[in-house]
Amino acid sequence: MIKFKINGKKVQGEEGQYVIQVAEKYGITIPTLCHHKALEPAGMCRMCTVELFNGRNTKFVTACNYPIWEGMEINTDTEAVHQGRKLIVEMLYARCPEVPLLKKLAKEYEIETVRFPKQDDDCILCGLCVRMCEKMGNSAISLTGRGVDMKIDTPFGIQSDTCLACGACASVCPTGHITLEKIKNEITKKNPFIIPSEYEMGLKGRKPIYVPYAQAVPNNPAIDRDVCMHFKTGGCQICTEVCQMDAIDHSMEDEIIEIDVGSVILSPGFKPFDPSKFDNYMYSNYPNVMTTMEFERILSASGPTQGHLTRLSDNKEPKKIAWFQCIGSRDTNKCDNSYCSSVCCMYAIKEAMIAKEHQGDDLDCSIFFMDMRTPGKEFERYYQNAKEKHGINFIRSRAHSITEVPDTNDLEVRYVNEKGVIQTEIFDIIVLSVGIEIPDETRKFAEKIGIEITENGFCKTDSFEPVKTSRDGIYVAGAFNGPKDIPESVLDASAAASAAGDSLSKARNTLTKIPESVPEINVTGERPRIGVFVCDCGSNINGVVNCAEITEYARTLPFVEFAQESLYTCSQDTQDKMVEYIKEKNLNRVVVAACTPKTHEPLFQETLTNSGLNKYLFEMTNIRNQNSWVHKNNPDLATEKAKDLVRMAVAKSGLAEPLTEEKINLNEKVVIIGGGIAGMAAAKSLASQGYETHIIEQQNFLGGQALKLYRTAKGEDVQLKLKQLINDVSSMDKIKIHLNTTLKSVDGFVGNFKSKLLKQEKDFEIEHGIAIIATGAKGCETSEYCFGENPKIITSLDLDKMLIKNDPEINNINSAVFIQCVGSRETKRPYCSRVCCTHSIENAIILKTKKPEMDIYILYRDIRTYGEKELLYKKARDIGVIFIRYDVNAKPEVTTKGNEISVKVKDHILDMLLEIKPDIVTLATAIVPNKDEKLANFFKVPINEDNFFVEKHAKLGPAEFATDGVFLCGSCHYPKSLDEAVTQAKASASRALTLLSKKDNLYTSGNVADINPMYCSSCGICVSICPYSAPLFTTEGRFKDKAEINPILCKGCGLCVSSCRSGAIHLKGFDTNQIFAQIYALDKAV
Amino acid sequence: MTKEKRKIVAFLCNWCSYGAADLAGVSRMQYPADIRVIRVPCTGRVSPKFILSAFRQGADGVWVSG
C-alpha cells in the first residue's frame, strides 16, 4: 500500500496505480476527456492536470498517467489547476465550437469569449478511438499527419478492410466526431449494423454480452461469440478486467455431455412465420407493416418504447390499426402451411384490446379475418366483448395487398366487404398475425432421432396417447405437438411428464441423495443477536447505494451483533462464510439487505438451516429491485431509504420466533370421480406409477360419452381403442372400479379426505389423499330446428350411433344437411363447444366417401377447425361438401311436412334464400357440463357461469383446482376432443403425482395463523371469512366451541388475523407486533 | 409538508404488488424515493390499525396494494 495525500486528505492506493484511480476511489472528481478505465492512459487531453508537491517544489502532472508514490501530495482544485484547465477548455472550444460537450465545459469554466481563432473541427485528437481500436485487436485507425494537419484516419485515407465495424471507437468518442454513419461511409468497407435483440424482435439493439430478457432462466449474461470482438481478433477482453468475480473465461469450448436417461421429452417449440417472402404485404419494405410478435413488444412496458404505442416510421401515435389474420396459416397459395395456427385469432383480439387500453377508445382497431376462431375456455365471451363493448371492427375479408401512401408512410388497403363492395381504407399501422411454423432444424432433428412427423412438421401422435411419439420412450409437449396456446402447452407438458414417468416408475427414488441435516439450535428465550449482511450485488446496489455506510449504520442498530458487506451475498463462498459467522458470533437472527425475497429467500433460509438456525429466523429487505434500480439518479436518497429499510427489517427480525412446519400425512389413495375417457386415462397413469386408484362411476358401465363416438379427427376407431382402454383399466390391480356409485359426502383436506359413497343403497367409505374430478359433459337438449318432430332430424351423436351400427339407412341418404352451433355461441350459452365443427366435417367426409354422389351441406357460422384439423376442412371442400355460412340473426329455417324436410338458408355469396330438401338433418348441439353443485361443495371448488369447473389458473394451472389435492380433467373443465381429454387426464395425474411423490417430505408452511383459545370469543368471523376453510370450531375438549386453525389448509394470508376482534389470532412470521415494529421503525424515517 | 420530507408507507401483497415492484426494478423504471414498503402475505393481513399507526408515525400517505 502506498500512502499519500489528495487535497490534504490521507489516501492510499496500490503499487502501479495512477493518481486518477485513487482519486476516483475516494470520490474526488478529476475532469478528463481522454481517459477510459479499460485503456492505458495517454495524457492526451491534459484536462486532468493536477498540482504535485514532491516535498520541495510543486509541478503540474496529468493525473491519468502519473503513478502514485509514497508521501506525495496532490492538489486537484487549486486556482492554478483551475486556470490551467480553463485554458485547455478555451483552446479546445476554439477548435471545436459546435461540440455540445465543449460548449457545456466552456459554460462551466465561464468562458464567454474565446481569444483564439475559431475553427470548425469536431475532433479534439484525444486518441481514445485509436487506443480503443488497438484494444479491440485491430488498429484500423490512427492519428495521422503532423502538427496542424493531425487527424484520425485510416491508412491512406481509404475505407479499410481491417476495420470490422464493431463501433467501439464511436462508443468512446467524447465529441461525437466518430459516428456509426461515419464508420460506414469513411472508415470501413464492411456493413455496420446494430446487433438485433432477439427478444425485442429486432426493434432494439443489444450488446455482444447480454441477458436475453429480464426474466431469462438462468438470468446470467452470455457472450455472443458471433459478434464478440475477442473471438474475431483475440483482443478486447475488457469484460474479464471488469468482472469482479473472474467469471469470464474466453477459452471455454463447446462440450458434448452424455446423460443416461430413461425417457426423453421433446419440446422444441415453434418459430413465428416470416412474412417477408410475401411481396403483397411489403413487410420488409414498409416500416409500419409489422408482425404481431413485434407489436407485442411495442405494447409491452418493458419493450423498446416502454409500452408507448407509436409507429416505427415517425414515432407518431397511431389512430387506426388493422390486423391481418392467417398470415402463414391456412394458405397453400403463397406458403405451404395449410393448417390453422390456432392461437392468432385470440392474440389479435388481445392486442387490439390492449392497444385500445393504451391509446384510449379513439383508437380504431380492425381485424381482417376469414373465420374467427375462439374455441377456448372464455374465449368466445372475450371475442363478443371486444366486438360489442370495445368497438373493435371485425371485417370478414382477406385483403389482397398493402400500398404505402406517398410521403406519409400511411398504408392503404383495398378489400371486398361482405356485401361484395370494394372498399379502400387507410391505416397507420398494419399488424400481420403470423402463424406458428416448425423450423427446418426441428424437422431434421425428428428425422435424425427417428420419430414420425406430419407433412407440416408437427409430431405424429395417437389420440389415445397424445404425448407419445412414434418411438418408445420419447414424448412430446408444446407447439411441436400441433399449434397450441399456453394452457394447452402446460397440459401437454404435465402429460408428457407423467407419460415419461409411467415407464420409469420402477426406477423412482433410486438415484436420490439425502442431504445431511444439521440439528436445530434452540434459541427460544435468548436475547436477539442479529447479524446483518449487506449485499453490493456487484455494482447493482453499491453503484447507487453506499453499502459501506449502510453496513456501518446497521452496526449501530439495537440487537445487531454483527454486520458485513459482501460483493455477492448469494455466492456460495459468502454463504459458507455466513454459516461460519452465525456459529462464531453466536447469531440467532439474520437480516440480509439485498435483492428480492421472492427469488432469494429460500436460498438464505437454507443457509440458516445449514448453520442450525430455524429458517424462520431470517428476514430479508429489498435494497436492489425496490431501491438502487429504481432510484439510480438519487444515490443519496437511495442510501437513506436503504438505511430505513434495514432498520425496519432489523426491528421485525428481533421479534422473529422459530416456527415449526407441520408434517402433512398423505394418504396415497386417489379417488377419481367419473369413469369416462378422462377418468380412465388418469387412473391408468396413476396406477401404472403404483398408486391405488378408485374410479367412481354413477352408471353401470365405463366409457362415458366416448361410447357414442365413431371416429376421432385423426380417423382412429374410437370403439376399438376405448374397449382396449376399458380392458386395461379393468385388469389393473391398482385400479378399483365402483360402478353405480355416487358420492354422498366428503370430509377432510389434501392428503386426508374421507369420502362416503353409496352403491346400490349400500354405504361405504374411502379414505384417500387426492381427488380428481372428471365428471364430463353431454350434448344439450334442443327443440330448435324441429328436433323431435321428425326422426330424420337427429343430433351429431345420433349420426355417430348410426355409423357405429353401420345402419343400412345411411345408404338411402342422398342429401344431408349439418347445422352447426345449435345452442352454442348464443346469449343463453355464450361459449363455443369447440369440437362440433371438426366432428361434423369428419362425419361429412365419411358419408361422402361412403357415397360420393351424396349432396352434403354444412351450415355454419365460423368454421373452427383449429390446428391440423383444418386439413379435414380442406379435404371436405375438395371432395365437394358444400359450406354455407349463416348469420346468428338469420338462422336456417327447418320445416317438416310429413316425411319431407325443408331447410331454408340465406347464402351470403349469392345473397339469395336457398331451399334444400335433405333426407337427413344433423344438429351439432352444444356441449353442456354435468352440473354438480353438490360435488363442487364437497371439494370446495368453484363453478363458472356456464357450469364448467374453474381451474386454479386459466393459463398456468389448467389441470388443478385452487383447493390443494383436488384436480380436474376432461369436459367438466371445458368441451374438448378425445385427445385433449386424455392429455388433460394425464396432466391431472401428473400434478397429483408431484404431490404423491413428496409423501415423506410434505410439510405445511411455518407462516400460518394460530389462535389463542383463551382470547377467542367464538364469534365465528374467522370461520366465515377464510377462503380456505382453515378455521373451524373445536368440537370437544377444554376449548370446545373455540375456533382453531388447521395449519394444513391455512395459506397464511392473514385475513382472519386482521378480522379477529379479540386479537386472538396470530400470523406466524407476519405477526401484529412484527408489522407494528416495522411501522414504529419508520419513526426516524418520517 | 415539505417535498424533501415526504414519506409514503406501502403495504404490498407478496403475490402481486410486491412482485410488480420487483419487476419495476428489473425494468429500471424510475420513481421517487419517498416510498417505504412493508411486505405482507396478503392485503387481507392489513388491519386498519396499521394504517392509522403509520399516519401516527408521520407518514404523509399510506398505500395498500394487492
Q: Are strands A2-6 and A9-13 parallel, antiparallel or unpaired?
A: antiparallel
Q: Which three cell numbers stand for residue A555?
A: 452496526
B-proximal residues of A, 967-1026, CB under 8 Å: 1007
CB contact (8 A) between residue A630 and residue B41:
no
Average pLDDT, chain A: 94
User: What is this structure's pTM?
Assistant: 0.86
Band of residue B1 on the pLDDT scale cut at 50, 70, 90:
very low
Q: In this complex, is the C-beta atom of A799 within 8 Å of any C-beta atom belonging to chain B?
A: no
Per DSSP bridges, beta strands A855-860 and A1031-1033 are unpaired
Supply the DSSP symbol for A184. I
With beta carbons under 8 A apart, name residues in chain B contacting A1057.
45, 47
SS3 A493: helix
Q: Which tens digits make up the pLDDT trace of A859-873?
A: 999 999 999 999 999
Mean pLDDT of A28-52: 90
Strand pairing report for A1009-1011 and A1065-1067: antiparallel
Q: What ipTM was reported for this prediction?
A: 0.96
Q: How far is CA A284 from each of CA A59, A289, A292, rounded to the nearest angstrom?
A: 62, 8, 14
pLDDT of residue A1084: 66
pLDDT of res. A1086: 44
CB A52 within 8 A of CB A31: no
Task: Check whether A620 has a pLDDT greater than 60.
Answer: yes
Q: Could you say which DSSP state residue A625 is in?
A: I
B22–A596: do the CB atoms touch at under 8 Å?
Answer: yes
- Record: contact B28-A632, CB cut-off 8 A: yes
The per-residue pLDDT for range A942-991, each reduced to its tens digit, is 999 999 999 999 999 999 998 899 999 999 999 999 999 999 999 999 99
- Cβ of A630 under 8 Å from any chain B Cβ? yes
Rounded CA separation A659/A1029 (Å)? 22
For every residue of A995-1038, DSSP letters joined together read HHTTGGG-B--S--EEE-TTT-----HHHHH-TT--EEE--SST
User: Is B41 within 8 Å of A597 when comparing Cβ atoms?
Assistant: no
Nearest to A1048 by CA among A1085, A1086, A995: A995
Kindly report, residue by residue over A79-137, the tens digit of the pLDDT.
Answer: 999 999 999 999 999 999 999 999 999 999 999 888 999 898 999 999 999 999 999 99
Map out the domains of chain A with their CATH numbers: 2-77 (3.10.20.740), 128-187 (no CATH), 272-436 (3.50.50.60), 440-506 (no CATH), 530-653 (3.40.50), 670-777+947-1001 (3.50.50.60), 779-928 (3.50.50.60), 1009-1084 (3.30.70.20)
State the greatest distance between any 2 C-alpha atoms of chain A, in Å, as a whole number: 126
Question: Using 50, 70 and 90 to split pLDDT, how confident is the model at A25?
Answer: confident
Confidence of residue A29 (pLDDT cuts 50, 70, 90): confident
Residue-wise pLDDT for A349-380, tens only, equals 999 999 999 998 899 999 999 999 999 999 99
Residue among A872, A637, A146 at smallest CA distance from B6: A637
Task: Express each pLDDT in A156-203 by its tens digit.
Answer: 889 999 999 999 999 999 999 999 889 999 999 998 888 999 999 999
Name the nearest CA neighbour of A832 among A380, A405, A201: A380
Alpha carbon distance A779, A782 (integer Å) = 9
CB contact under 8 A, B57 and A626: no
The Cα A93–Cα A100 span in angstroms is: 10
* pLDDT number for residue A333: 87
Could you read off the pLDDT of A784-812 as tens digits, one per residue? 999 999 999 999 999 999 999 999 999 99
- Residue the block writes with cell 406458428: A436
Rounded Cα distance between A263 and A1062, Å, is 56
Distance CA(A955)–CA(A72), nearest Å, equals: 67
Q: At A628, list the grid cell.
A: 438502487
446497521: which residue's cell? A554
Q: How many CB atoms lie within 10 A of CB A487?
A: 22
pLDDT at residue number B5: 64
Q: Please calculate the CA angle A79-A80-A85 and round it to the nearest 5 degrees.
A: 95
| A1075 near B CB under 8 A | yes
Are the beta carbons of A1063 and A1071 closer than 8 angstroms? no
Question: Which residue from A1034, A964, A976 is spatially nearest to A1003, judged by alpha carbons?
Answer: A964
pLDDT at A264: 96
Question: How near does any CA of chain A get to the CA of B1, in Å?
Answer: 11
Is a pLDDT exceeding 90 seen at residue A538? no
What is the Cα–Cα distance from A658 to A617, expressed in whole angstroms? 6
**What percent of chain A lies above the pLDDT cut of 70?**
100
The predicted structure's pLDDT at residue A215: 78
pLDDT band for position A509 (50/70/90)? Answer: confident
Percent helix, percent strand, percent coil in chain A, to nearest 5: 30, 20, 45
Q: Looking at chain A, which residue has its C-alpha nearest residue B14?
A: A598
d(CA A654, CA A523): 12
Contact state of B26 with A215 under an 8 Å Cβ cutoff? yes
C-alpha cell, A751: 392428503
pLDDT at residue A925 above 90?
A: yes
- Please compute the mean of the pLDDT values over residues A240-244 and round it to a whole number: 88
Q: What is the 3-state secondary structure (H, E, C) of A796-854?
A: HHHHHHHHHHCCHHHHHCCEEEEEEEECCCCCCCCCCCCCHHHHHHHHHHHHHHHCCCC
pLDDT of residue A720: 97
DSSP-derived 3-state class of residue A492? helix
Residue A1083 has pLDDT above 80, yes or no: no
Q: Is pLDDT at A606 greater than 70 in this prediction?
A: yes
List phi, psi (to 5°) of A350.
-60, -45
The stretch A26-30 carries a mean pLDDT of 84
**How does strand A411-416 pair with strand A422-427?**
antiparallel
Per-residue confidence band for B2, with pLDDT thresholds at 50, 70 and 90: very low
Q: What is the pLDDT of residue A218?
A: 85
Q: How much is the average pLDDT of A527-554?
A: 94
